[in-house]
Amino acid sequence: MSVLEIRDLHVTVDTEEGTTPILNGVTLTLRTGETHAIMGPNGSGKSTLAYTIAGHPKYTVTGGSITLDGEDVLAMTVDERARAGLFLAMQYPVEIPGVTVTNFLRTAKTAIDGEAPSIRTWTKDVKQSMKGLRMDPKFASRNVNEGFSGGEKKRHEILQLELLKPRFAVLDETDSGLDVDALKIVSEGVNRAKEETGLGVLLITHYTRILKYITPDHVHVLVAGRVAEQGGPELAARLEDEGYDRFLEPVVDADA
């Protein structure tokens, strides 16, 4: 079993107006085999948490720690983090002109494993995963994310997840912009990866609907850069009914 441990994490981002604190002490322990949902209103710092785990240079850690089986993740470069078994499916996947899906996947797999995958099993694995995600085989020869629809980009993120087999995956709003059918297909892909490799999943979402297909063991509500409440799946059901209103500061009516 592996453990990803986030302790009292403080993160700032540099903007034109200066340095802004975004995460104000986030603590969370994720074990392989577990699925944790991070929920919260827009702007609460969910993507900031995802990017900080992945090592995006825009975000500065000003306090706290992230460790993977006791190893200091914050001291690792982005590619060291990937080789250590951390994976991020981005909320807004980027286009990579000039790089085909096939080349991208194979290069990533080779970099992470430290050796090229055997051609026969690799080609079979790619085909099978693409089929499972109902991706047209033609995608293999297209440039990464270029001209992909929102749903196709999200499927491509999950294709990477299935093939790269990380120990921990952070899925940042993988459900956003998906219709019900695509949501099911993407969720099934995540569940297949969970069954096959026993990875730990940090499922970031604003809405509860993906949690009908991917059952979380724990739910954390992130508000203003802090975990405001934690619970089991029943907490997600409550958020479905009530929304995030009770966590947000009441708006003061200037005329009152």
* Residue choice 43, 137, 232, 243 for contact with ligand ADP (CB under 6 A): 43
Tell me if 206 sits within 8 A of 42, measured CB to CB. Answer: yes
Closest separation in Å from C-beta 16 to ligand ADP: 8
Stretch that binds ligand ADP, among 38-46, 67-75, 143-151, 184-192 (CB under 6 A): 38-46
Please state, in angstroms and as integers, the Cα–Cα distance from residue 175 to each residue in 23, 120, 150, 178, following that order: 23, 32, 10, 6
195 vs 249, beta carbon nearer ligand ADP: 249
Read off the tokens for 45.
Answer: 């710092």
* Residue choice 47, 160, 197, 208 for contact with Mg ion (CB under 5 A): 47
The separation between CA 163 and the C-alpha centre of its own chain, rounded to angstroms, equals 16
* Residue choice 6, 9, 22, 159 for contact with ligand ADP (CB under 6 A): 22
32 vs 44, beta carbon nearer ligand ADP: 44
Does the protein bind ligand ADP through residue 228 (CB under 6 A)?
no
Nearest to 155 by CA among 172, 134, 124: 134
> Of these partners, ligand ADP, Mg ion, none, which one is at the site of residue 246 (CB under 5 to 8 Å by kind)?
none
Does the protein bind ligand ADP through residue 46 (CB under 6 A)?
yes
Which helix (H) or strand (E) segment holds residue 238: the answer is helix 233-242
> Of these partners, ligand ADP, Mg ion, none, which one is at the site of residue 48 (CB under 5 to 8 Å by kind)?
ligand ADP
Does the protein bind ligand ADP through residue 135 (CB under 6 A)?
no
Does the protein bind Mg ion through residue 174 (CB under 5 A)?
no
Does the protein bind ligand ADP through residue 42 (CB under 6 A)?
yes
Nearest to 220 by CA among 242, 198, 204: 204
DSSP 80-136: HHHHTTEEEE-SSPPPEEEEEHHHHHHHHHHHHHSSPPPHHHHHHHHHHHHHHTT--
> For residues 168 and 81, what is the distance between their CA atoms, to the nearest angstrom?
10
Does the protein bind Mg ion through residue 48 (CB under 5 A)?
no
Closest separation in Å from C-beta 91 to ligand ADP: 7
> Of these partners, Mg ion, ligand ADP, none, which one is at the site of residue 131 (CB under 5 to 8 Å by kind)?
none
Span between the terminal Cα atoms of the chain, in Å: 56
Stretch that binds ligand ADP, among 24-32, 46-54, 69-77, 179-187 (CB under 6 A): 46-54
Please state, in angstroms and as integers, the Cα–Cα distance from residue 253 to each residue in 41, 196, 247, following that order: 21, 53, 18
Parallel, antiparallel or unpaired: strands 18-31 and 35-39: unpaired
Instruction: Summarize as ranges the residues that interact with Mg ion (CB under 5 A).
Output: 46-47, 91
What residues make contact with ligand ADP under the rule CB under 6 A?
A: 13, 15, 22, 40, 42-48, 58
